[in-house]
Amino acid sequence: MARILTLTLNPALDLTVSLETLRPGAVNRSLGLSSHAAGKGLNVAQVLADLGHKVTVSGFLGTANAAPFELLFDRRGFIDAFVRVPGESRSNIKLAERDGRVTDLNGPGPQVDAAHQAQLLEQVEQIAAGHEAVVVAGSLPPGVELDGFVALLRHLKALGLPLVLDSSGAALRAGLAATPWLIKPNEEELADACGVSPSSPEQLRDAALRLREQGVEHVLLSRGAAGVDWLGPQIALHAQPPSVEVLSTVGAGDSLLAATLHGLLSGWPAERTLRLATAVAAQAVTQLGFGIHDRQQLARLEAAVSVVPA
């Protein structure tokens, strides 16, 4: 299996609160609570580890609450290449309702100064050799400006690693200038990045094709319950997942990305890759936490995924 580097510049402690229905402005009683060391890159890393890959994790980690993250790294067998910074990594509160709707209350993260950003760049350069791909996922912490973020992405590309980018808003718009190898936006993120309507499948497809013409090899468009569209070299596929009982949508996109990367690095045909990735994402919404925990359920879901030309 491959060795993969994931960068989570703004990791988080995720507190997921399960609710029947959220009533804003009223007293709400939870059905349950769970806490996870998380962040998009770390979520991707956990699925990659379950698929058999060796993962190095990096980014910026607050020293004041590093312990839950370090426990995760140890339990998962990750190589820890995080740069420690003063302060606390952010906390995110996720209010997960019974119907699958999730309301996010995301913290900002610790301030990251120029010296620590230079340290990350130097550290990544030292450890990049021997990895087969790099995933940069999630938001930017305070102190990391867009110019510096794009410079980091371009530096990673210059090291010869296929660059996977999964972000949103200004970070995604800026990051596209580095021409990633693969991106995984949802409909709203792609629409925002390309200035099109999120409710128009035609405009979204045209936007994805324009990105491919600009050098992005793979555009993996996550459409929630409506499935996944994948446009790549000689690839134009749509996958429809089976209906499942949704517990939380947190981590579904990260799972989709990880399993797609697994198939690409394993040399699988596109249809096989997308079928597995869609099934892994479908399984993710049935659980709290990240990773592949039930192989028999995954096999049933994979068999029920429909893949057709897009």
Residues 102 and 233 in one domain: no
pLDDT band at 251 (very low <50, low <70, confident <90, very high): confident
pLDDT value at residue 225: 86
pLDDT at 101 over 90: no
Residues 8 and 136 in one domain: yes
Residues 5 and 115 in one domain: yes
Query: Left, alpha or beta for 234 (phi > 0: left; psi -120 to 50: alpha)?
Result: left
- Residue whose token pair is 């839950």: 68
pLDDT at 141 over 80: yes
For residue 187, being part of any structural domain is answered with no
- Say which residue, 7 or 98, is predicted with more confidence: 7
pLDDT at 52 over 90: yes
pLDDT band at 88 (very low <50, low <70, confident <90, very high): very high
The whole domain housing 12 covers 1-144
pLDDT at 241 over 90: yes
Residues 1 and 134 in one domain: yes
Domain boundary among 119, 144, 169: 144
pLDDT value at residue 9: 98
pLDDT at 100 over 80: no
pLDDT value at residue 250: 81
Averaged over 53-79, what is the pLDDT? 97
Structure tokens at 201: 């499948």
pLDDT value at residue 268: 98
Contacts 24+ apart (CB under 8 A), 286-289: 286/244, 286/245, 286/246, 286/247, 287/247, 287/248, 288/16, 288/18, 288/34, 288/36, 288/96, 288/247, 288/248, 288/250, 289/34, 289/36, 289/251
Residues 9 and 126 in one domain: yes
Q: What is the mean pLDDT of the chain?
A: 95
Query: Left, alpha or beta for 228 (phi > 0: left; psi -120 to 50: alpha)?
Result: beta
> Which are the contacts of 23, defined by CB distance < 8 A and separation ≥ 6?
none
Between 80-89, 120-129, 173-182, 261-270, the lowest mean confidence (pLDDT) is in 120-129
Domain boundary among 104, 123, 144: 144
CATH number, domain of 23, equals 3.40.1190.20
pLDDT value at residue 122: 95
For residue 161, being part of any structural domain is answered with no
Whether 254 sits among the annotated catalytic residues: the reply is yes
pLDDT band at 105 (very low <50, low <70, confident <90, very high): very high
Residues 11 and 129 in one domain: yes
Residues 110 and 240 in one domain: no
Number of folded domains that form the chain: 2
- The catalytically annotated residue of 14, 166, 229, 254 is 254
For residue 176, being part of any structural domain is answered with no
Q: What would the pLDDT profile of 170-201 be if each residue is shown by its tens digit?
A: 999 999 999 999 999 999 999 999 999 999 99
For residue 228, being part of any structural domain is answered with yes
CA gap 89, 302 in Å, rounded? 36
Domain boundary among 126, 144, 162: 144
pLDDT at 288 over 90: no
> Which are the contacts of 197, defined by CB distance < 8 A and separation ≥ 6?
191, 203, 204
Residues 134 and 221 in one domain: no
Instruction: Report phi then psi at 27, rounded to 5.
Output: -75, 125
pLDDT value at residue 244: 93
pLDDT value at residue 279: 98
Residues 2 and 98 in one domain: yes
Task: Calculate what percentage of the chain has a pLDDT beyond 90.
Answer: 88
pLDDT value at residue 309: 97
The amino acid present at 136, given as its one-letter code, is: V
pLDDT at 159 over 80: yes
Residues 23 and 130 in one domain: yes
For residue 226, being part of any structural domain is answered with yes
pLDDT value at residue 74: 98
Give the CB-side neighbour count of residue 146, counting CA atoms within 13 A: 12
pLDDT band at 259 (very low <50, low <70, confident <90, very high): very high
